[in-house]
Structure 1
Amino acid sequence: MAQPIAYVMPGASASRLSLIGTVITFILFLLVMPSWVRERWRSRHPWLTLGIRSRRGEASPTACLIEGLLRSAGLLALICLPLLLGSWGRWLGELTAADALNALLLCFGLGLAEELVFRGWLWGELNALMGPREAVIGQAVIFSLAHTRFDQGVLPMLGLLTGLLLLGLILAVQRRLDGGSLWGCVGLHGGLVGGWFALRSGLLQMSPSAPQWLVGPGAAHANPLGGLVGIIALSILLWRQLTALASAARP
């Protein structure tokens, strides 16, 4: 559906056409989802089932979103502080208007889109097909495979798979802790993506000699979730979430 745009915009690059195609696909996804949830999941309130709306008396979407953003800021700080203290990075604090807009779009646009796909639709489908426990693990595995680059060697690949798997589990548990609301996941996921983009785009100057165990694999496109610090931080966060979930389940 995006290909005809090439005739209207002859100078459009393949990446731009791909992005336009992705946007069109997601719009179609949004249009289909309400009827899909009503028919397949037998739900009378699809957006409530998907976590976009909240029930009365539960945590507000705004509060969940802010808490998720704060968690993402804390995780990014664990990466930035060693960079600054270890002389592998220098704080610049410079961000153009275009980069700031891109960071916001990544945070709220990409964060919402991916959470609606993975922790909304996919989790619900797997839950209907496999059961709740298998669905949590299954969506995290698919999430990690969909985001891992397989051209960086075995150890970097395993690091990314582990970090992304942990993040997928954390986001699923976060939704449980938020009473089914998806907005805490949007804040955490989107904050990590948008925040890291903003840091790399001008807020923080990173040395090429920055260790991989800290910034993760990928060189110029490093992903800190695949580094040792990121994996440890995510493991601790998951452990704390599971402890809180267990405490909330006790009578």
Structure 2
Amino acid sequence: MNRTNKYSQARPQPLARLPAAARVGMFLLTLLALWLPWAIPFYLIWGEVGPVSGLSLGLLYSLFILLLREWGQRVHRQKQPFRFYGLPLSRQLGREAGLGWLLGLGLIGILFGSQWGLGWVGFEGFSGHFLKIVPEGLLVGLGIGFAEELLFRGWLQQELELDYQPNSAVLIQALIFAALHFIRPLEVILATAPQFLGLVLLGLSLGWAKQAWGRRLGMAIGLHGGLVAGYYWVNVGGLFRPSAGIPEWLTGVGGNPLAGLMGLVLLLALAGVMGYRAATAP
């Protein structure tokens, strides 16, 4: 185990001396203990209706952020816990997030532009409701980019890096990231198996992006958010349709580009670039 991480300190707290798996488990159990007393009454009274589900998940993530602050301060003795997890309040973080956002949108443009140029998909044009979904995609991208990066590359990867070598920590969090996005019925898992590899490659890319940009989450948040927003605009906006006779394994099983050959090649290239940049970062 790697106990020489630059954030490691003399750890007076017993929890801080536990293995990473135990610390992660204790954190999640604490989070559930805080959330369930609120979530259970919501579901008992109102059921699993849309607004209640959204409110419950919003409460869960709010509690996660509050617990993360306390965890960083009390367990790891960090005076600035969010900086410890990759979120320093700085203009640099914002610039990196903006650059990542443009990169994410650019990758979506390359993916669908290439398929269009090869004749694999047809361009349907912009519908009348497209302007309506632009702010929706922006909010979805920002929300998912921030939430998932703080969770996986911020908290989880940092906890792992306190015990393991950096690349091992990146790989473990990428596998967990992919697995948690792949909780589905068995028949769906088997039908969309290539998507798991795409999610692993995305998790690796985002983990190395954090390492390459000074252990800050700006690039990872922006890149993740740009990918999500770009795909939202393409998918919900109905900008492209698969051409007849083109197999799904090329364009994406079930219409998901992460489960298609071109999407996997693009993600593999992204992981290679991010991995190289992380390995050569000062």
Match runs of 1:136-155 below 5 Å: 136-148=170-182, 149=184, 150-152=186-188, 154=190
Which amino acid in 2 is paired with 1:198?
W
Q: Please report the TM-score for the alignment, with normalisation by the length of structure 1.
A: 0.84
Q: Larger deviation: 98-107 or 159-168?
A: 98-107
Q: Percent identity over the alignment?
A: 30
| Partner of residue 17, structure 1 | 52
Match runs of 1:87-236 below 5 Å: 88-94=121-127, 95-96=129-130, 98-148=132-182, 149=184, 150-152=186-188, 154=190, 156-157=192-193, 159-202=194-237, 204-207=239-242, 209=244, 211-217=247-253, 219=254, 222-236=255-269
Which amino acid in 2 is paired with 1:102?
E
Q: Retained in 2: the 8 A contact 1:54–1:181?
A: no
Q: Please report the TM-score for the alignment, with normalisation by the length of structure 2.
A: 0.75
CA separation of 1:132 and 1:42: change in aligned 2, threshold 3 A: farther
**Distance in 2, Cα, partners of 1:156 & 1:203:** 21
Q: Deviation string for 1:144-166 (max 9, x for gaps)?
A: 11112453353631x11111101
**Distance in 1, Cα, partners of 2:78 & 2:49:** 39
| Partner of residue 84, structure 1 | 116
Q: Retained in 2: the 8 A contact 1:2–1:20?
A: no
Which amino acid in 1 is paired with 2:65?
L
Q: Aligned pairs, how many? A: 240
Q: Deviation string for 1:163-198 (max 9, x for gaps)?
A: 110110100111111111111111111111121111
Match runs of 1:58-69 below 5 Å: 60-69=92-101
**Distance in 1, Cα, partners of 2:71 & 2:43:** 32
The runs of 5 or more residues in structure 1 that have no matched partner are: none
Which amino acid in 2 is paired with 1:37?
G
Q: Shift in Å at residue 131 of structure 1?
A: 4.2
CA separation of 1:245 and 1:124: change in aligned 2, threshold 3 A: closer
The runs of 5 or more residues in structure 2 that have no matched partner are: 1-37
Q: Deviation string for 1:75-128 (max 9, x for gaps)?
A: 212321134231622142234455223211211111100100000111122223
**Distance in 2, Cα, partners of 1:105 & 1:14:** 21
What is the DSSP-based 3-state SS (H/G/I as helix, E as strand, rest coil) of the residue aligned with 1:179? coil
**Distance in 1, Cα, partners of 2:99 & 2:166:** 25
Q: Is the radius of gyration larger for structure 1 or structure 2?
A: 2
Q: Retained in 1: the 8 A contact 2:145–2:222?
A: yes
| Partner of residue 20, structure 2 | none
Which amino acid in 2 is paired with 1:213?
W
Are 1:237 and 2:270 counterparts? yes
Which amino acid in 2 is paired with 1:74?
G
